[in-house]
Structure 1
Amino acid sequence: MTTLAASTDNRREQVGWYFYDWANSAFSTTVVTVFLGPYLTSITRNAADANGFVYPFGIPVAAGSFFPYMVSLSVLLQVFFLPILGAIADYSNARKQMLAIFAYVGAFATMGLYFLEGTNYLLGGILFLIANLTFGASIVFYNAFLPDIASPDRRDAVSSQGWALGYLGGGLLLAANLVFFLNAGSFGVESGMAVRISLVSAGMWWAIFTLIPMWTLRNRGAVRRLPPGENYLTVGFRQLAHTFRQMRGYPQTLLFLAAYLLYNDGIQAVIALAAQFGAEELGIGESTRIATILMVQFVAFFGALIFGALATRLGSKRVLLGSLVIWTLVVSYAYIMPANNDVQFFALGAAIALVLGGSQAISRSLFSLMIPDGQEAEYFSLYEVGERGTSWLAPLLFGVAYQMTGSYRIAIVSLIIFFISGFILLLFVNVRRAAAEAGNQAPAHV
């Protein structure tokens, strides 16, 4: 145990690893959450015909649907590409190099959004597609470093600190960009230019702070060369096929993954749909919604740290189950919450923020205990793909519930199904057995 901890718990590497979350979270907050959707939609409408359609590559697309379609397409591409990229990274022992490649392609594609103006919606769509695809790929290689840099007893704390720093970094840049955007006239800048400057700032932030993990992280083992007559694509597919066959020998890992796909789908749906619920059902104004988005970033910073500390003392599984109880209570309260009450909406956002980073960080560290050594990128690619591949289920239920009842309250409370079913499956996961099946050592408290 002492040898394992000494070989993995390198403080310099851990701090460097944290900073990749700080770096890439700017893309999530400034680009995806706030600025790009409305701005790209306005550019697309500028290019639309009298019927409100654009025709990328001859395909008729309603202007208002272009950005959501780009989000969906980028996720679909991740489902196809991430597993093979993870297999290549594990085979080659080149996780650091692959993290760098995809991080910088994503960062430069984001900076390219500065040129999004007029009617060139297709440029914006393609750049976003590249940025979101490479963002997802870089996260796979980033997560795969966790077992290398943190021993089992430190893993919850390290994972939580990474999530916390990500929320802080993303929140700080978003706050600066919102101040700049809301006061653009004072700087002699029109609103469109302010959006473009905010977008490029996210790419620059991503690129600059990625230098820190590049300086500190190290690959374990020498980078492997290809056998004669092989290429990384064929080797990657063969390695991936082996992994799929092997997974049947890890039933507890598969059970955890099924639980995660369910409850995380509920989490992602709440994140994506909370603003719509607040605006359409509760009558919450735009200024309050923006303030709540900012508040969530900073409260989630503390929430991730708190949950990491609790997991170290009480055990990851217990704390994760507790977080799912809180998620269920939050969604239940949203059903009875009075309309036009900014204070309660803000408080509900704070409750979500407290469990948001914690539940995601503990899930990541718990999964890392259940995967075999040397195949971390492959398994984390399946973890990411599983999350994205099912992330349409909860929004679909939300939409169907609203269409059938005409009530956003019933739609939001229907998401309880995902938290309860995930909770039930998680109850049956034996963490110690899962770690043993994968050849790993479980922490003292699980």
Structure 2
Amino acid sequence: MSAIADLRPLAQRREQRAWYWYDWANSAFVTSVQTVLFAPYLISVAEDADPIRLFGGAVAPGALPSFVVTASTILSALLLPLVGAIADRTTHKRRLLAGFAWAGAAAGALLFFAVDGNWQVGAVSMVIANICLGASGTVNDAFLPLIADEADRDRVSSRGWAFGYLGGGLLLAITLAVVLLHDTFGLTEEMAVRLSMLAAAVWWAAFTVVPLLGLQDHPPVHLVPSGSTDGDTSSGFGGLVRASFGQLWATLKDLRNYPMALTFLLAYLFFNDGIQTVIYAASTYGEKQLGFGTSVLIGTILLVQFVAFFGALLFGRLAARVGAKRVILGGLVVWMLIVTVALFLPEKALVPFLAMGVAIGIVLGGTQALARSYFSLLIPRGREGEFFSFYHAMDRGTSWFGTLTFGLVYQITDSYRPAIFALIAFFVIGGALLLRVDTARGMREAGNS
């Protein structure tokens, strides 16, 4: 009797290729709208409105985007664990992914209608879009352990991040061309920005079709007892939500049984906050401290995006040789060097500034991609959604530590140089905690090979 070929690796590769496209889809919205266009546009809309009052207090237009992002961050941190529990208990994960993505894209598209002082539309739309972005990211990351074996996850995660940076950089280049050359296209600058934000939302929605069609439904496994005997579909969506609350509570009580996963989450809290703050502060540092104009900053943003594509692939290959943990630690050392160099970078020194941008691009995509795949080794089968929801909640719920540190040091010293150098503490603490993570023990605790 002839042996039957194992077609599972072939099916996994097909799902992996489809999965990459969700990073491509949502990264364009993150890069073009969240990072570049939203804050200045909402400020300009709010400046045309009557005095803004929230919860009985006056709000300056310039502070409004920060409050919007903070509100969406807090709500995301509260809601994502429930989203993760629902993802673990449903067979229809790809539809859940697409549903959150399309809801977020629809909310993002409403930014087009934030005009004539109507800042409320922009604020509410962005809060909803950010929450849906986090929810879809939780479900998307939960697919990684389902479509890739332990030994293959660094490669798969790195390619997903690389795809994301390539897609985000491509749309950002088009967006900046439209905005900067708006007269050439017969557009006002305001209309160019509005159309660019709409295009990013359409991009997000359109490319989500690829993972929806290419991924497969994966039934729940190893469910945590929650007092519900019907699991997924027999009692409808209401029963699913009730059972998910039960699973979430059971998992929270059970977290102490996964000390290595918890230690990694704590390490991630610090080093990821450092990374996010460097990215947040880079344009301010380049303009206010080093004296570069808008064109140089825009060019540097694009440089970082496209270098990050190759950086993610490079880190994936290095991880295959020496292991993800070592490569992440090496990346954190490079981040320490970056903020140290920034402390002494001369004003108007273009070549060193661009070289620093290249260094950021190399470690940016690679560090984040490997953090995702490494964490997947430390989480138990069947609870991917919940654990990745904690991962995203840790990212969103604590992402203000770094910016607070940056702001306080600037307030004390009146210089951005010590402010950006102070972020080295986040990489040192994050690296020290990561050194305490025993990979083999963590995988045994989670029941992984």
Residue 325 of structure 1 corresponds to 333
Unpaired runs of at least 5, structure 2 = 221-230
- Deviations for 1:378-429, whole angstroms, at most 9, x for unmatched residues? 0000000011111111111111111111121111111010101111111111
Partner residue in 2 for 1:241: 249
Query: Does residue 1:342 correspond to 2:350, yes or no?
Result: yes
- Aligned residue among 407, 419, 424 for 2:427: 419
Structure-1 residue corresponding to 2:72: 74
Report the counterpart of residue 130 of structure 1 in structure 2: 128
Query: Is 1:84 aligned with 2:82?
Result: yes
Give me the whole-angstrom Cα distance separating, in 2, the residues matched to 1:349 and 1:6.
Answer: 41
TM alignment of 1:57-72, pairs within 5 A: 59-72=57-70
Which of 181, 205, 208 aligns to 1:207? It is 205
For the 8 Å contact 1:146–1:159, the answer to whether it is kept is yes
* Cα distance in 2, alignment partners of residues 384 and 218 from structure 1: 23
Partners of 1:5 and 1:151 within 8 A in 2? no
Letter in 1 for 2:12: N
Question: Which range moves more in the overlay, 425-434 or 225-234?
Answer: 225-234
Measured after TM superposition, the shift of residue 231 of structure 1 is: 3.1
Q: Which residue of 2 aligns with 1:102?
A: 100
TM-score by length of 2: 0.94
**Take 1:147 and 1:4, find their aligned partners in 2: how far apart are those partners?**
19
How far does residue 58 in structure 1 lie from its aligned partner after superposition? 5.4
Secondary structure in 2 aligned to 1:27? helix
String of CA shifts for 1:110-162, please: whole Å, max 9, x gaps: 11211121111101111111111101110000000000111111100000000
Whole-Å Cα distance in 2 between the matches of residues 260 and 134 of structure 1? Answer: 22
Task: Quote the Cα distance in structure 1 between the aligned partners of 2:346 and 2:10.
Answer: 50
- Please report how far the alpha carbon of residue 371 of structure 1 lies from its aligned counterpart in structure 2 after TM superposition: 0.4
2:179 alignment counterpart: 181
Q: Is the 8 A contact 1:4 1:151 kept in 2?
A: no
For residues 21-420 of structure 1, the aligned pairs below 5 Å read 21-48=23-50, 53-56=51-54, 59-221=57-219, 224-227=232-235, 231-420=239-428
Distance, in Å, in 1 between the alignment partners of 2:194 and 2:240 is: 37
For residues 164 and 5 of structure 1, do their structure 2 counterparts lie closer, same or farther at Cα, with a shift above 3 Å needed? farther
Secondary structure of 1:187 counterpart = coil
| Cα RMSD (Å) | 1.8
CA offset at residue 230 of structure 1?
Answer: 5.8
Q: SS where residue 155 of structure 1 aligns? A: helix
Contact residue 90 and residue 219 of structure 2 kept, 8 A: no
Where does residue 15 of structure 1 map in the other structure? Answer: 17
Q: 1:439 and 2:447 equivalent? A: yes
Could you tell me the TM-score, scaled by structure 1's length? 0.94
| Separation in structure 1 between the aligned mates of residue 90 and residue 149 of structure 2, nearest angstrom | 23
Stretch of structure 1 that moved more, 108-117 or 348-357: 108-117
Deviation at 1:164, TM superposition (A): 0.2
Residue type of the alignment partner of 1:108:
A
The AA in structure 2 aligned to 1:135 is: L
Instruction: Return 30-39 or 359-368, whichever deviates more.
Output: 30-39
CA positional deviation for 1:236: 2.0
TM-fit CA distance, 1:229: 11
Residues 1:391 and 1:47: Cα distance change in structure 2 (over 3 Å): same
Alpha-carbon distance in 2 for matches of 1:54, 1:438? 50
Pick which of 76-85 and 235-244 moved more.
235-244
Runs (4+) of structure 1 exceeding 4 A deviation are: 56-59, 226-230
Indicate the SS of the match to 1:60.
Answer: strand
Partner letter of residue 40 of structure 2? P
The amino acid across from 1:42 in the alignment is S
User: After superposition, what is the alpha-carbon deviation per residue over 1:237-272, rounded to whole angstroms, capped at 9, x for unaligned?
Assistant: 211111111110011111111111111110111011
SS state of the match for residue 10, structure 1? helix
How far 1:85 sits from its partner (Å)?
1.1
- Kindly provide the amino acid, as one letter, of the partner of residue 29 in structure 1: T
- Kindly indicate whether the alpha-carbon contact (under 8 Å) linking 2:21 and 2:210 is maintained by their aligned counterparts in 1: yes
Counterpart Cα distance in 2 of 1:418 and 1:412:
11
Aligned to 1:299, what secondary structure does the other structure show?
A: helix
* Number of residue equivalences: 435
The Cα of 1:205 is off from its aligned counterpart by: 0.5
Moved more, 73-82 or 114-123: 114-123
Farther-moved stretch of structure 1 (362-371 vs 217-226) = 217-226
Asked if the contact 2:93/2:218 (under 8 Å) is kept, the reply is: no
Percent of pairs identical after alignment?
48
Read off the aligned partner of 2:262 and give its amino acid letter: L
Q: Residues 101 and 228 (structure 1 numbering): CA distance in 2 closer, same or farther, change over 3 Å? A: closer
**Alpha-carbon distance in 1 for matches of 2:252, 2:320:** 31
CA distance in 2, matches of 1:72, 1:4: 49
